[in-house]
Structure 1
């Protein structure tokens, strides 16, 4: 990194530090412990950079003084002292630069690591019509059984039934209840999941190929993704899901459209419109955050020559072949011959292979 780039980086972090310094003393932040802790952590991290920058600038000033003496003073002894001082200053500057680079690297890694976060999962039917809707239901069951084995809880945020059975779309909120590794395990599931099997409706015994898409979003705080409410179009409608007589009598379901990004989110699982709005906002925030994160990860994946961590939902990541009792992950060319066990939630083995592969290519 050139010195000009280093100074530019210092200035960027210094500006962020002053912004957080102003925000952290606001009453709405002080009264919200969750937001306050997030900001305090960032404040302390950036404070270290500001201190490094101050030390760096002091050393640069001393270096200028030493250079001035060496260039303009005629006193040989003074010039000798200035020369010795200059060498010490250059060593100090080099040390500060290395410390700064290391810390910048730490912050950049921390910024793209959300393995500990809870997640929002979206399952959508793709090609294959009713068979794809049935496969969404199968994958939903697979994940919920995996959550149970892992000790995680989940709630359905939104569900749209298929034409005959299954789901066209279903969105889940997955919470680890303090356990780590939720997003760290599930982030590998984003992409196209393809199934090859004989549908129940197939009379001639032919194998059909269908596909669904899975999207996994790390849950984020509102302090991390600030959504302007004026950019959101809100529509309400009567829920079509389960919930008794109340559901169809009131417009408790909520549809939010984020105008700048054209992202639309629906939530109708709660009886309260207010609760549905809160859940929909959380999904919207997670989607916007993921879009920005995917842009960064795609750049990284080009260097890694791998799609393991891009989260690209257009990429075919896995095939579930029922006739051959085989699950194949195409990113790492790994096959497991235990389809029944896999569909019963025993997916950790595949996830562990993906984790190993990701670490190997970083």
Structure 2
């Protein structure tokens, strides 16, 4: 069909997976079995959509042929003309669904996710804004039915966060949160501002798909692990044992600290989880950069230096600069109602990926 990539490679891949799944020890490697089962479902859905589109094209062609047939019954022609608009709408709908479905799914979409928020420019106001983002994501997780596990926090005397991190677990967590990576800017009047002047502050958000041990190999010799006594603002939350853990990954220079738990072992396990996820993110980013020239228009999903969004409290407006979207519902958004924004970002990303796929398809022909 014109404008639709060839379906045969997908049919061939589906047949290959059928053979792999028929092997007796298929489920001995649980992770591989899960990935292949997911791909099996994806290719099956693709083929079904393609066949439904083929049928819609056939029905549409049949109606047009009937309408143009001089010898056809007039009553049947009228019925065919009445159905024409509905069939055209059905075909376009199936066509769009098929094109989106043909986009390869991000293998990380179904992963649990580590979110790291850090105060940027703006002093205490930046740390307070970091706490606003922290609360916003917690509320969104509640709405989605996800669970949150604290990974670490560095609080300020003003009641905000210099930095805070947490693990989000649930269905398709990374799929929805991956567009949050970047610089978030806030414009509002701080509570300490007597003149009512609007201040601008920033916070950075990093969204990391949770890595498993099989994703990233970390040699013990590459790690420098130290422990220290945990501390908290105003003397609160201070441990009386050396439970805080810092891990330096010498090859990359990455430093991870965790003091959230009172157990040194638990802090070490959490720190290793964060380290693996940061290394996985770096590896994925390096791979993505290889193809950056082909995807310049794609919605950014990983650059922490990119200013992605402005939260304008005086005007109750949120603006996402990547897709030029402004929403006059900031109070609801900071209460966790992010779905409209997430859908818009995903749609823009899909459109950019579709455009790149169609261009690549044309060049291949």
TM-score higher than 0.5: yes
Contact preservation (8 Å) 1:237, 1:253 = yes
Give the equivalent residue in structure 1 for 2:122. Answer: 128
Structural mapping, 1:164-313, within 5 Å: 164-176=158-170, 180-241=171-232, 248-306=239-297, 308-313=299-304
Q: Distance in 2 between matches of 1:44 and 1:325?
A: 45
Specify whether residues 143 and 43 from structure 1 end up closer, same or farther in structure 2 by C-alpha distance, changes over 3 A only.
closer
Q: Distance in 2 between matches of 1:273 and 1:211?
A: 33
Tell me how far 1:278 sits from its aligned partner. Answer: 0.6
Specify whether residues 162 and 307 from structure 1 end up closer, same or farther in structure 2 by C-alpha distance, changes over 3 A only.
farther
Structure 2: 5+ residue runs without aligned partners? 1-24, 39-102, 354-365
Q: Normalising by the residue count of structure 1, what TM-score does the alignment of the two structures yield?
A: 0.68
Q: Distance in 2 between matches of 1:148 and 1:241?
A: 27
Q: Distance in 2 between matches of 1:174 and 1:189?
A: 14
Contact preservation (8 Å) 2:223, 2:247 = yes
Specify whether residues 333 and 37 from structure 1 end up closer, same or farther in structure 2 by C-alpha distance, changes over 3 A only.
same
Structure 1: 5+ residue runs without aligned partners? 1-24, 26-32, 46-107
| Aligned pair partner of 1:328 in 286, 302, 319 | 319
Structural mapping, 1:74-113, within 5 Å: 109=104, 112-113=106-107
Q: Distance in 1 between matches of 2:182 and 2:237?
A: 37
Tell me how far 1:113 sits from its aligned partner. Answer: 2.5
Q: Does 1:161 align with 2:155?
A: yes
| Cα deviation code 1:171-210 (max 9, x no counterpart) | 101111xxx2100000000000000111111111111110
Which has more radius of gyration?
Answer: 1
Q: Distance in 1 between matches of 2:213 and 2:114?
A: 15
Q: Distance in 2 between matches of 1:357 and 1:232?
A: 40
Tell me how far 1:272 sits from its aligned partner. Answer: 1.2
Tell me how far 1:255 sits from its aligned partner. Answer: 0.6
SS where residue 38 of structure 1 aligns? helix
Give the equivalent residue in structure 2 for 1:342. Answer: 333
Tell me how far 1:39 sits from its aligned partner. Answer: 5.1
Q: Does 1:318 align with 2:324?
A: no
Q: Distance in 1 between matches of 2:37 and 2:315?
A: 55
Specify whether residues 334 and 229 from structure 1 end up closer, same or farther in structure 2 by C-alpha distance, changes over 3 A only.
same
Tell me how far 1:234 sits from its aligned partner. Answer: 0.4
| Aligned pair partner of 1:143 in 137, 149, 170 | 137
| Cα deviation code 1:153-180 (max 9, x no counterpart) | 101111001242200000101111xxx2
Q: Distance in 2 between matches of 1:226 and 1:44?
A: 25
Specify whether residues 288 and 206 from structure 1 end up closer, same or farther in structure 2 by C-alpha distance, changes over 3 A only.
same
Q: Distance in 2 between matches of 1:324 and 1:245?
A: 37
List structure 1 segments (4+ residues) > 3 angstroms apart after TM superposition.
39-45, 244-247, 298-302
Q: Distance in 2 between matches of 1:153 and 1:238?
A: 28
